Amino acid sequence: MTAITISASILSADFANLTDQIRQAESAGVDWIHVDVMDGAFVPNITMGPFIVETIHRITRLPLDVHLMIENPDHHIEAFAQAGASNLTVHIENTPNIHRTLTEIENLGCHPCIALNPGTPANRLEAIIPYVDMVLVMTVNPGFSGQKHIPEMVAKVIQVKRMLADQNRLARIEVDGGITAANLPVLVDAGANTIVSATSVFKYPGGIAAGVQALRSSVS
């Protein structure tokens, strides 16, 4: 049995019943709640900000895995840390002083994490591997839930795993986008140990508990 961490993305939750949806995800045994922050500039969609993170923090004790898909993330990390984020993930593509940003995230008491879009090569990570607790390999282009995963990202997960091993780092490898029970085993074999899912949790036809169970049993 492979132990995976499941980070349930509320992007596909029913926001009219958010508390109930999060309770159901908790009972189903998800490990983290994933919050997709989008600004309509770095990605085409606009979603939620620190206020929502703070609200969710009051609803659940699960760690909040906050994925920042925004321009100028440095301007906002303190607000997200204060709102209760556990992980703060910034994108390498738009964070020019990445070492400083990751150090600041750590100083704010959060886990510093770095995300790579599908078009960004793994070798961009080389110099910052010592400063990250998690690498997020995007398996879709960020912006929306419900997209189809890009199978070529399996090779990037393998590369990232090798790069972490070369530097003796135990950082997590997270995958995000289009994850289903059908494509998860290959990603886990490649080295992913932390899984983000919106659709396969909150929009699973048999309900949230069945969705989480399907993901877990696909790799057990």
Residues found near ligand DX5 in the complex (CB under 6 A): 9, 11-12, 34, 36, 67, 140, 142-143, 145-147, 176-179, 196-200
Partner in contact with 146, chosen from ligand DX5, Zn ion, none, beta carbon below 5 to 8 Å by kind: ligand DX5
Determine which one of 31, 65, 133, 176 is catalytic: 176
Q: How far is the CB of 147 from ligand DX5 (least distance, A)?
A: 5
Closest distance to Zn ion from the beta carbon of 177 (Å): 7
Closer residue to ligand DX5, CB minimum distance, 86 or 169: 86
**CB of 36 vs Zn ion, minimal distance in Å:** 4
Nearer to Zn ion, 34 or 168 (CB): 34
CB closer to Zn ion, 141 vs 166: 141
Burial category of 137 from C-beta neighbours within 10 Å (exposed 0-12, middle 13-18, buried 19 and up): buried
Nearer to Zn ion, 175 or 188 (CB): 175
**Per annotation, catalytic residue among 31, 36, 65, 133:** 36
Tell me whether strands 111-116 and 194-197 are parallel, antiparallel or unpaired: unpaired
- Amino acid (one-letter) located at 85: A
* Lookup: tokens for 170: 């135990």
Q: Closest approach of Cβ 176 to ligand DX5, in Å?
A: 5
Inter-residue long-range contacts of 91-94, CB under 8 Å, 24+ positions, other chains counted: 91/42, 91/115, 91/116, 91/117, 91/142, 92/116, 92/120, 92/124, 92/125, 92/128, 93/117, 93/120, 94/42
Question: Whose Cβ is closer to Zn ion: residue 140's or residue 167's?
Answer: 140
**Smallest distance, Å, CB 38 to ligand DX5?**
7
64 close to 86: Cβ distance less than 8 angstroms: yes
**Residue 36 catalytic?**
yes
Active site residue 176: yes
**Partner whose binding site includes residue 133, from ligand DX5, Zn ion, none (CB under 5 to 8 Å by kind):** none
Partner interacting with residue 178 (select from ligand DX5, Zn ion, none; CB below 5-8 Å by kind): ligand DX5
Please identify every residue annotated as catalytic: 36, 176
